[in-house]
């Protein structure tokens, strides 16, 4: 994330207060950093100095962000075997982590506030909240005291991945707008501008200041007549946000532009339009499944200036992962992310399922011309979605704003490798924000509900839900997905224009027969894609209501409870 972008939107970055711990040593700046140090604003310098006293590093380097600096750091890491150059691609590198440090660690991610209720609701069944981890300031002080003092004193042994899985702790102090991350180098735990700041801390700032910080992609879609619209979409981690954000539409004449693939900051402008910016400067996407067929724009983006993590490697200096769909030339051998020789068919995957690419957004061939616009782009529709093998139709539209907020709160999805969960289970993931909430979900839902009533003359985006992942009885996907998802965006755009027919069902409006463009698609069973099995929905509606009432307890907004009860009633009458 570029600092300028953050600063444009955030005016409340408080002074850090690491100096509470005893200073063990004077900060030591090496000569060639003096210039950088002098250029630091006073409170940043204070922060660095107090952190240095606490952590006791041998040297301090102030990053300038220059190309020269990046190359010398990579060169140093290469010399220490911490990264490997990938000579088949210009300025591409591979880092393989300690196998214990491969994903976000939700169980060790905490929000520190005086009052527990500011962070998580109190479940009505007396169990621990599933909507985040609260830590009291007193426990936080103790835990930090056990980790940070002197933690940089000992040299890191070259060629091992620095991490401390037993002591990993990712702590957020939303009142102070502060983050302290210890013990993990995995991106989602250690790239603090991303999940930690742009979602957890920013969602709290957004609540305080009347805007929204969301786990959403932003894309531009232009129809063959040249009408362009922007939509934002929230899917849980590793459910295809990057693929949708960079889609190559298979319907003739349609065009997609990418604004962002993971995070949206949104606010209503003075004319009542919801405007979104992408606060990030690059993509940190899941590699497995990415191919020239599924996401050619991503493949082009990552062909240079990219750092790969935990992917496999070809003996001719390229990358490899499950689903890359590129033939291996004769004589070329493969090495897995764990460093072992690997051949197709081996029991273990070549790339870790949560292996990633980290690459500059500006290299994506379809970045929308407005992607860095400071005003943001106007959002006409918000799309929720998840990985639902059963029962959930390809697309449906909310009846109105509160119903749309309810649909977001009721999101569920099959677990993926993005976090530490084991096995394939259907998890609740309200607004795809469960791992990224910076405050109580009940207050968060109320904040979203308030968007309808807070300002006058607001043009609220319409709200939709999609599911590309429904399967038939044999376990095959019912929908081709990828570039054909443009057909669903086409229906959504035509709904916005008042030109697509819909049927009212207990869950929302679904496309009327014939209103979704299926031309040229072979063998798609529209009935199966849109069927609403009564038994499934009875169970689903009951589970959603139970989850929301138990997990949110007294913090469940009455409007959301009313929607949950109504869904159950409508399904019972089906």
Return residues touching ligand OXD (CB under 6 A).
Answer: 104, 188, 237, 262, 284, 418
Determine the angle formed by the axes of helices 202-209 and 441-454, rounding to 10 degrees. Answer: 40
Let me know if 516 is exposed, middle or buried by CB neighbors in 10 A (0-12, 13-18, 19+).
buried
Closer of 200 and 494 to ligand OXD (Cβ): 200
Q: How far is the CB of 187 from ligand OXD (least distance, A)?
A: 7
* Coil vs helix vs strand at 158: coil
CA 142, chain centre distance (Å):
30
Concerning whether 186 is annotated as a catalytic residue, the answer is yes
Closer of 51 and 243 to ligand OXD (Cβ): 243
Concerning whether 239 is annotated as a catalytic residue, the answer is yes
Catalytic residue chosen out of the listed positions 186, 230, 509, 547: 186
| Secondary structure E strands in 501-553 | 502-504, 509-511
Concerning whether 470 is annotated as a catalytic residue, the answer is no
Catalytic residue chosen out of the listed positions 5, 195, 434, 447: 195
Q: How far is the CB of 3 from ligand OXD (least distance, A)?
A: 20
> Do the strands 134-135 and 356-360 form a parallel or antiparallel pair, or are they unpaired?
unpaired
Nearest to 373 by CA among 460, 282, 278: 278
Q: How far is the CB of 1 from ligand OXD (least distance, A)?
A: 13
Concerning whether 495 is annotated as a catalytic residue, the answer is no
Closer of 144 and 418 to ligand OXD (Cβ): 418
Task: State the binding partner of 417 from Mn ion, ligand OXD, none, CB within 5 to 8 A by kind.
Answer: none
Q: How far is the CB of 420 from ligand OXD (least distance, A)?
A: 11
Among 143, 214, 261, 262, binds Mn ion (CB under 5 A): 262
Closer of 140 and 235 to Mn ion (Cβ): 235
CB–CB of 412/388 below 8 Å? Answer: yes
Quick one: which segment of 8-16, 29-37, 255-263, 532-540 binds Mn ion (CB under 5 A)? 255-263
Q: How far apart are CA 7 and CA 167, in angstroms?
A: 32
Determine the angle formed by the axes of helices 558-572 and 534-552, rounding to 10 degrees. Answer: 160
The H-assigned helical ranges of 271-319 are 296-301
Catalytic residue chosen out of the listed positions 5, 53, 104, 470: 104
Q: How far is the CB of 412 from ligand OXD (least distance, A)?
A: 16
Task: State the binding partner of 540 from ligand OXD, Mn ion, none, CB within 5 to 8 A by kind.
Answer: none
Closer of 237 and 416 to Mn ion (Cβ): 237
Instruction: Count the alpha carbons within 13 Å of 419 in the hemisphere toward its beta carbon.
Output: 20
List the structure tokens of 262: 């993971």
Task: State the binding partner of 563 from Mn ion, ligand OXD, none, CB within 5 to 8 A by kind.
Answer: none
Task: State the binding partner of 261 from ligand OXD, Mn ion, none, CB within 5 to 8 A by kind.
Answer: none
Quick one: which segment of 7-15, 86-94, 259-267, 556-564 binds Mn ion (CB under 5 A)? 259-267
CA 350, chain centre distance (Å):
24
Residues 6 or more apart whose CB falls under 8 angstroms from that of 479 comprise 394, 468, 469, 470, 524, 529
Concerning whether 237 is annotated as a catalytic residue, the answer is yes
Catalytic residue chosen out of the listed positions 204, 215, 275, 495: 215
Task: State the binding partner of 418 from Mn ion, ligand OXD, none, CB within 5 to 8 A by kind.
Answer: ligand OXD
Closer of 181 and 237 to ligand OXD (Cβ): 237
Q: How far is the CB of 166 from ligand OXD (least distance, A)?
A: 22
Catalytic residue chosen out of the listed positions 239, 350, 364, 493: 239
Q: Which residue is nearest to ligand OXD (CB)?
A: 237
Catalytic residue chosen out of the listed positions 50, 181, 237, 355: 237
514: left (phi over 0), alpha (psi -120 to 50) or beta: left
Catalytic residue chosen out of the listed positions 262, 368, 380, 429: 262
* Coil vs helix vs strand at 416: coil
Let me know if 170 is exposed, middle or buried by CB neighbors in 10 A (0-12, 13-18, 19+).
buried
Q: How far apart are CA 280 and CA 260, in angstroms?
A: 8
Element of type H or E holding 172: strand 169-173
Task: State the binding partner of 415 from ligand OXD, Mn ion, none, CB within 5 to 8 A by kind.
Answer: none
Concerning whether 473 is annotated as a catalytic residue, the answer is no
CB–CB of 179/201 below 8 Å? Answer: yes
Q: How far is the CB of 104 from ligand OXD (least distance, A)?
A: 6
Q: How far apart are CA 387 and CA 538, in angstroms?
A: 19
Q: How far is the CB of 116 from Mn ion (least distance, A)?
A: 26
Q: Does 237 bind Mn ion (CB under 5 A)?
A: yes
Element of type H or E holding 486: helix 486-496
Residues near Mn ion (CB under 5 A): 237, 262
By annotation, the residues acting in catalysis are 104, 186, 195, 215, 237, 239, 262, 356
């Amino acid at each position: 994330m570029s600092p300028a972008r953050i600063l444009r939107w955030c005016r409340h970055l408080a002074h850090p207060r690491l100096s509470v711990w005893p200073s063990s040593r004077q900060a030591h700046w090496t000569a060639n950093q003096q210039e950088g140090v002098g250029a630091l604003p006073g409170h940043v310098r204070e922060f660095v100095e107090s952190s240095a006293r606490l952590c006791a590093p041998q040297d301090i380097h102030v990053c300038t962000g220059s190309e020269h600096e990046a190359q010398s750091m990579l060169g140093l890491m290469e010399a220490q075997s911490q990264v490997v150059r990938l000579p088949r691609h210009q300025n591409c590198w591979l880092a393989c982590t300690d196998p214990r440090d491969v994903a976000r660690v939700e169980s060790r991610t905490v929000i520190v506030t005086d009052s527990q209720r500011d962070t998580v609701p109190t479940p009505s069944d007396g169990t621990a909240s599933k909507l985040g981890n609260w830590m009291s300031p007193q426990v936080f002080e103790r835990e930090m005291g056990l980790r940070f003092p002197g933690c940089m004193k000992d040299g890191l042994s070259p060629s091992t991945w620095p991490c401390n899985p037993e002591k990993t702790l990712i702590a957020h102090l939303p009142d102070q707008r502060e983050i302290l991350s210890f013990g993990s180098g995995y991106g989602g735990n250690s790239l603090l501008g991303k999940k930690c700041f742009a979602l957890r801390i920013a969602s709290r700032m957004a609540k305080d200041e009347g805007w929204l910080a969301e786990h959403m992609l932003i894309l531009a879609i232009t129809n063959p007549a040249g009408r362009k619209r922007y939509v934002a979409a929230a899917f849980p981690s590793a459910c295809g946000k990057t693929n949708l954000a960079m889609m190559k539409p298979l319907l003739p004449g349609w065009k997609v532009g990418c604004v962002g693939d993971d995070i949206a900051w949104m606010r209503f402008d003075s004319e009542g339009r919801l405007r979104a910016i992408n606060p990030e400067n690059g993509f940190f996407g899941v590699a497995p499944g990415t191919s020239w067929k599924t996401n050619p724009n991503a493949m082009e983006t990552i062909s240079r200036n990219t750092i790969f993590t935990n992917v496999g490697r070809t003996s001719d200096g390229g990358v490899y992962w499950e689903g890359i769909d590129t033939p291996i030339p004769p004589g070329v051998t493969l090495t897995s992310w764990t460093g072992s020789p690997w051949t197709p068919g081996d029991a273990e995957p070549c790339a870790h399922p949560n292996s990633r690419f980290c690459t500059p957004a500006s290299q994506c061939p379809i970045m929308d011309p407005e992607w860095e616009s400071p005003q943001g782009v106007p959002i006409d529709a918000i799309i929720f979605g998840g990985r639902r093998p059963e029962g959930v139709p390809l697309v449906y539209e909310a009846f109105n704003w509160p119903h749309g907020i309810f649909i977001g709160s009721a999101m569920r999805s099959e677990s993926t490798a993005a976090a530490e969960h084991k096995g394939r289970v259907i998890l609740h993931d309200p607004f795809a924000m469960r791992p990224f909430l910076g405050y109580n979900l009940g207050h968060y839902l109320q904040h979203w509900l308030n968007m309808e009533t807070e300002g006058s003359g607001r043009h609220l985006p319409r709200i939709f839900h999609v599911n590309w992942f429904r399967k038939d009885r044999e376990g095959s996907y019912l929908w081709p997905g990828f570039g054909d998802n443009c057909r669903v965006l086409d229906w959504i755009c035509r709904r916005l224009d008042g030109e697509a027919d819909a049927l009212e069902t207990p869950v929302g409006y679904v496309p009327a027969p014939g209103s979704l463009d299926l031309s040229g698609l072979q063998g798609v069973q529209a009935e199966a894609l849109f069927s609403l099995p009564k038994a499934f929905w009875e169970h689903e509606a009951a589970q959603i209501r139970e989850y929301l009432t138990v997990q949110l307890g007294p913090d469940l907004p009455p409007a959301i409870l009313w929607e949950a009860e109504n869904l159950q009633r409508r399904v019972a009458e089906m």
